[in-house]
Amino acid sequence: MKVKTSEGVGDYRTLWWGDGKLMMIDQPKIPHEFKIHECKTYRDCAEAISTMIVRGAPAIGAAACYGMALAAEAKEDLEKAAEVIGSSRPTAYDLFHALEYFKENFSGGNAVDVAETYANDSAERCRMIGVHGAELIKDGMNVLTHCNAGALATVDWGTALAPFRIAKEKGVKFHVWVDETRPRCQGSRLTAWELLQEVIDHTVIADNTAGSLMRQGKIDLVIVGADRIAGNGDVANKIGTYTKAVLAKENKIPFYVAAPSSTFHNELESGAQIPIEERNPSEVSGMWGFNKSGKFGRIQIAPAESKCLNLAFDVTPAKYVTGYITEEGVD
């Protein structure tokens, strides 16, 4: 992805191998700062996944594979490493897909090569999602997306945002509505930042605004990502996705899910079997950002005595999904 820094515009992946370490963009600091985080051990990698320094299903998968490479290079117990990394976040299936991939392909001296191959293949799958999904975006369209399913959520290109990048390259004129996506605001922080880097026209909206825009005919298409897709097509994605899918169905707006094959967990009969992560309530009761003095911190919003529920994901039944955009095409 293109990134504008104080040194100019550069091309970055979300994570990469460098000097025996896993390097990754520190996502909680975006859009206020652009910093690189280093993981020197598999435990560093698990911590980065758990604290969302790296997030998004395909990016988590690649980080997990690199984490296993770090463990192998350090002659660590690989079963223990897989257990620790696998416990870092429960919902995104790419995490477990990547761990299995490493186990199946590691042969003793090729740990980094295995991780690099996984990451490169993941990036290419996302590019192809962009190629196929771009066909859905026509001149003059207003497209809604939820959370961040861009390059930052993958190794590169993105899932839901990959079609935007390809459509822009093809000269298609369109506008993106960006849900803020409380409580961590991945839409207003990360998706908006990515669209700025790519010079794609967009507007950030509060999460509760989309329904009104749909009723007014101001949304033509919805494209979201996914963290896990069950065998029957039910989709686990960032909390709030289900709401948008129901609203889209009611307003006769196409609702597409963009995800690589690594996100499909076909062994699950339905979305009811997908584990839903519950995160710290403090993410709901407060917000994070930089104050006027430039210091990053958290402010309390809700009364300190109030209980807060922080479900990270919800499940959208397949009946609300118009189609799935994968590296193979649109189905």
Catalytic residues: 227
Residue type, 257: V
Q: E-assigned strands of the chain?
A: 2-5, 8-11, 15-18, 21-25, 36-39, 141-145, 174-179, 202-205, 221-224, 228-230, 235-238, 255-258, 264-265, 286-290, 296-300, 313-316, 323-326, 329-330
Tokens of 258: 């963009």
Please, what's the largest Cα pairwise distance for the chain?
Answer: 60
CA angle 200, 259, 208 (to 5 degrees): 60
Distances (CA, A) of 133 to 69, 97, 137, 160: 33, 23, 7, 8
Distances (CA, A) of 243 to 136, 210, 308, 317: 22, 10, 20, 11
Q: CA torsion, points 91, 151, 48, 37, in degrees to nearest 10?
A: 180
Q: Could you count the other beta carbons within 10 Å of the beta carbon of residue 26?
A: 15
CA 122, 127, 130, 132 torsion: positive or negative?
Answer: negative
